[in-house]
Structure 1
Amino acid sequence: MAILTVRHITTYHYKRPVGFGEHRMMLRPRDDDDQKVLEAELEIWPKPSHIYWTRDRFGNHVATARFAERASELRFESTIRVDHAPADFPASAIKDFARTLPFSYAEEDGPGIERFIAPLYPHPEVDRWATGFLREDGSADTGALLVDMTQTIRRAFRHGARHEKGIQAPVRTLELASGSCRDVAVLMIAALRSLGLAARFVSGYLHLGDDDDDCLTGGNTHAWVQVYVPGPGWVDFDPSSGMVGNQNLVRLAVVDEPQDAIPLQGAWIGSASDHLAMRVAVKVSAAANVGAASGVPAAARR
């Protein structure tokens, strides 16, 4: 077990005071078997006129803020503390019927699994790339294929930030042999679904192991993949790092379509030239104890 603390600050700067439309936030991590939220605090400047919390159909926490004030700066500061239990991929726990591909999911694997098998950005080139992980007879060891695909993407693709909005089509990621974490995650999901495996998009944070708590480094917003494997259940695979399991990963949201997992989105009202900059800073650190001070007013706690 480890206690991870995440500070995530997003600041929008404008030339003059502007109005703000509704803003949707996915900044509170999920409560899953291997991670539990101990504390979640959110401070917003200027103060919203109204904020309410809901859960979407996947159980993700969603906050929506509305504003009455105009301002030249809009700032969101989220501080969360999570009890995190690292988990590997126990291939030996895979149920017998699912140890070799292809296989069909059983009814008891849960309702809604079909939505995570539905094709994502289908393309013949993606299908062809996916079948390259199969034996000549079209079969494969399920556990070995998942690990092989994760590590192949890590080795064969260039990884880096891509600042354009949206997701790069998987076939384009194949053509370029490069992409951001979200791009290679979507490629892996598209490939796995073409093979009949249930896979979903995960957004969250990556702990980089930097212990310097005085600066907002040592972490990143991140994207990776979860695959439903009969027996172990939902297992994390990070094609950007080649890692298998949830080590150093904190989940914010799981979705079937990546556009539904944007951490923060909203609108502002003014001239296009009023927008100056958006800055994002993230710090993920291993906390010494649960009671450590967070530096965020208790009034903002939920």
Structure 2
Amino acid sequence: MSGPPPIWKRYHVAHDTEYCYAYSVSNARHRAHLIPGDRPDQQVHQRTLTVNQPLAESAEGIDFYGNHYRDFAINVPHRLLSVQARMDVSVRAPVWPTHSVIWTGKSLARRSFDPADQVGTRFALTCAPYLVDSPMIPALPEAASWALAHLGSGKPLHQQLLTMTKAIFEEFVFDPAATTVGTPLSQVFKTKRGVCQDFAQLMIAALRSVGIPARYMSGYILTHPLPGQPRLVGADATHAWVEAWCPGHGWLGLDPTNGKAVTDEFITLACGRDYADVIPLRGVVVGGGEHSLEVSVTMTPEAELTQSASPKHDLNQHDLKLGKPVDTAGQ
């Protein structure tokens, strides 16, 4: 007998990104994966993307993986780029399976199938990109043996996926100083230290190595201030987790950084093979030289919102930053 339907929870997210360049940028083209879309357990009520420079071109689209994006071009000289994303989104906790196929250690991938087989066709079209190596997630022989040891055999797959999720949480240490965006995954596996991006990509490598489709998820997770303390404005960050394919149920959300299944405190921005497919803001610029980057994220439950305006920077004050030394530390 099924229980009561999940309750929808609504959140407001403010995500600000600022690039301050040492010299003037004459031309720039950017792509922003900062536009959430509707999903089975996510409803987008409002979303806006604001750029502080006049745009020569601007267009929205949907990429190969089904993600919404915004492309824009700037043809006026500038030393400061500010992109502000605002969104109101409702999410509900995904229904976690009570049963699933028994995992026997064999790959879920099919070498061939009957074109009349609708299940096989759906699997091939949905999962093919997430079974093979990708630019930031190469094949790791050590990950395969680690995966088989933690998945075990003879138990329901959904249980084993959660067991692996908890194993990464218990065996690896969250350490922002241990890695950068370009740190090889083999090093993360060796040192057992990193951040959410590393742990998500490591789990994906392990799952793909044994034939379980897995994809990289980008978005936000609600953080909780200490008891009696206010929510800090701008102190949150984007988050990364995993979705693994479970026959009969589809994609299951798993967060190895926190050792748990995805709940109603996650908002999805985009999915892809790895981080390179879902970078929140990327681009190509002419000029600029060295630059500093500031990112501010605030995810607020609707119940905490007040009648005052949501926190955001005053674009009219941006020029004040240009007189300060450019800090490229950590870039």
> d(CA) in 2 for partners of 1:207 and 1:199?
23
Question: Which digits, 9 at most, give the CA deviation of each residue in 1:223-267, with x for residues without a partner?
Answer: 110011123321110000112123321111111232111000112
User: Are residue 100 (structure 1) and residue 100 (structure 2) matched?
Assistant: no
Structure 1: tracts of 5 or more residues without a match = 297-302
- The residue that corresponds to 1:5 in the other structure is 12
Q: CA deviation at 1:163?
A: 8.6
Q: CA deviation at 1:49?
A: 1.9
In the alignment, residue 107 of structure 1 is paired with which amino acid?
G
- The residue that corresponds to 1:170 in the other structure is 185
Q: CA deviation at 1:194?
A: 1.5
- The residue that corresponds to 1:221 in the other structure is 238
In the alignment, residue 71 of structure 2 is paired with which amino acid?
T
> 1:184-223 alignment to 2 at 5 Å?
184-210=199-225, 212=230, 215-217=233-235, 219-223=236-240
User: Are residue 285 (structure 1) and residue 320 (structure 2) matched?
Assistant: no
The answer to whether the 8 A contact 2:224-2:231 is kept is no
- The residue that corresponds to 1:299 in the other structure is none
Q: CA deviation at 1:18?
A: 2.4
Q: Please, which moves more after superposition, 12-21 or 23-32?
A: 12-21
Q: CA deviation at 1:139?
A: 4.4
Q: Which has the higher strand share?
A: 1
Q: 2:60 aligns with which of 49, 53, 56?
A: 53
The answer to whether the 8 A contact 2:179-2:194 is kept is no
Q: CA deviation at 1:164?
A: 6.1
The answer to whether the 8 A contact 1:89-1:232 is kept is no
Q: CA deviation at 1:146?
A: 0.6
- State the TM-score, normalizing by the size of structure 1: 0.86
Change (3 A) 1:278 1:28: same
The answer to whether the 8 A contact 2:150-2:160 is kept is yes
> d(CA) in 2 for partners of 1:165 and 1:190?
18
- State the TM-score, normalizing by the size of structure 2: 0.79
Percent sequence identity is 26
The answer to whether the 8 A contact 1:207-1:220 is kept is no
Q: Please, which moves more after superposition, 203-212 or 64-73?
A: 203-212
Please provide the CA RMSD for this pair: 2.5
Change (3 A) 1:134 1:84: closer
Q: CA deviation at 1:271?
A: 5.2
Question: Which digits, 9 at most, give the CA deviation of each residue in 1:145-175, with x for residues without a partner?
Answer: 1111101101110113259653433322121
- The residue that corresponds to 2:112 in the other structure is none
Question: Which digits, 9 at most, give the CA deviation of each residue in 1:74-126, with x for residues without a partner?
Answer: 1001000101112252233x3xxx23333646416442312212244112211
> 1:216-295 alignment to 2 at 5 Å?
216-217=234-235, 219-270=236-287, 272-273=289-290, 275=291, 277-288=292-303
- The residue that corresponds to 2:318 in the other structure is none
> d(CA) in 2 for partners of 1:282 and 1:271?
25
In the alignment, residue 222 of structure 2 is paired with which amino acid?
H
The answer to whether the 8 A contact 1:7-1:283 is kept is yes
User: Are residue 70 (structure 1) and residue 72 (structure 2) matched?
Assistant: no
> d(CA) in 1 for partners of 2:12 and 2:53?
24
> d(CA) in 2 for partners of 1:17 and 1:124?
46
Q: CA deviation at 1:20?
A: 3.5
> d(CA) in 1 for partners of 2:186 and 2:22?
40
> d(CA) in 1 for partners of 2:78 and 2:288?
14
The answer to whether the 8 A contact 2:31-2:283 is kept is yes
Matched position secondary structure for 1:132: helix
